[in-house]
Structure 1
Amino acid sequence: MPVARPILPVAPRLGLVLGLGLVFGLAAAPAWAANNYDFLAAPQIDLNRIFRVDKSTGEVGACQFGLKEGSPVGVTLCYPPGQGAGPQTPSDYTLVASRHEHEAGAWRVDLRTGQMSICYVLDDAVVCTPPAK
């Protein structure tokens, strides 16, 4: 009676399994790394500004399109974090729009604590009110 034999000995099979796990894990890494930020367009209907929040630190920035004098190509204007918009207590943050068509800001929401701040561009930086609940 023939004896069933494994296709590969145990050690090479284990190496194959670990190798495939590493390959698939590395393939998934860019998708995971790309999930560090949330983005939200400002609700104001005549403003082309996009806010971004670092989902773990709560740091908020914004960018918008601008015209470049004498050039057919525009420029991306970005506003760094200013007062209150820098890193917060590590948590789980997102951005929420008020749905008010004249609102130029975005709400930074801490999903763990329920605290909220309104963030907006003031001069050359994004500023946020102190978190409140």
Structure 2
Amino acid sequence: MRGEVASASTGRAASGASRRARAPVLLPSAGSNREPRGGPMPIARLSAALAAAVLLGGAALAQAPDAQPDHAFLAAPQVDLNRMYRVDRATGEMGSCQYAVKDGTVGVTLCFPAGEGAGPQQPGVYDLVASNHSREGGVFRVDRRSGRMSSCYVLGEQVVCTPLSR
């Protein structure tokens, strides 16, 4: 369509009558890297294209996954215990759940809240590490930033932890 006159609103070639009624916008030839002979893209179209790019780019950023999950999970190393531990990676708060058989049902999940020493700690980068002891029901809570660690396990109906130490 080199040299054809296009409608500013539709971008299609216009008939002779409407060519005179609207401001012409010249279209570049296919494969051309040059601006149309009429000058740069009209401000309204340029603004709309820029706004669309910003909105689409912002939507992509808003949907980007977190670099680090909020919690870490680890099974207790004890081979005959069906228990999982959970730690909040930022605060170090602990929790634990395990499966239990219940007659006439598919079973239940029993969860144990944070007890002594297992609540929120100083901000850090917390994780869970298991020992290789096959009869150990607890896990280590480690702060990867400071190098401190504590031993955590279920006592009664709560998760308890020793004080963080190096």
**CA shift at 1:19, angstroms?**
1.1
Q: Which of the numbers 109, 112, 120 marks the counterpart of 1:76?
A: 109
| Segments of 4+ moved more than 4 angstroms | 5-8
- Aligned residues, how many? 130
Partner of 1:25, secondary structure, is helix
Residue in 1 aligned with 2:91? 57
Residue in 1 aligned with 2:69? 35
Relative distance call for 1:11 and 1:46 in structure 2 (3 A) is: same
Q: In the alignment, is residue 127 of structure 1 matched against residue 160 of structure 2?
A: yes
Distance 1:84 1:51 in 2: 15
Distance 1:46 1:37 in 2: 24
Q: In the alignment, is residue 116 of structure 1 matched against residue 149 of structure 2?
A: yes
Distance 2:41 2:122 in 1: 53
Of residues 114-123 and 97-106 in structure 1, the stretch that sits farther from structure 2 once superposed is 97-106
Residue in 2 aligned with 1:66? 100
Distance 1:15 1:102 in 2: 61
The 5 Å alignment of 1:81-100 reads 81-100=114-133
Distance 2:130 2:110 in 1: 21
Q: Which is bigger in relative contact order (C-alpha 8 A, separation at least 6)?
A: 1
Of residues 6-15 and 40-49 in structure 1, the stretch that sits farther from structure 2 once superposed is 6-15
Letter of the structure 1 residue corresponding to residue 61 of structure 2:
G
CA displacement, residues 22-61 of structure 1 (integer Å, 9 cap, x when unaligned): 2212322xx4298100000000001110000000000000
Distance 2:41 2:86 in 1: 53
CA displacement, residues 70-117 of structure 1 (integer Å, 9 cap, x when unaligned): x23110100000000000001110000112111100100000100000
Partner of 1:102, secondary structure, is coil
In structure 1, stretches of 5+ residues that fail to align are none
More strand, by proportion: 1
Distance 2:46 2:87 in 1: 47
Q: State which structure, 1 or 2, has the greater radius of gyration over its C-alpha atoms.
A: 2
Partner of 2:66, secondary structure, is helix
In structure 2, stretches of 5+ residues that fail to align are 4-27, 29-33
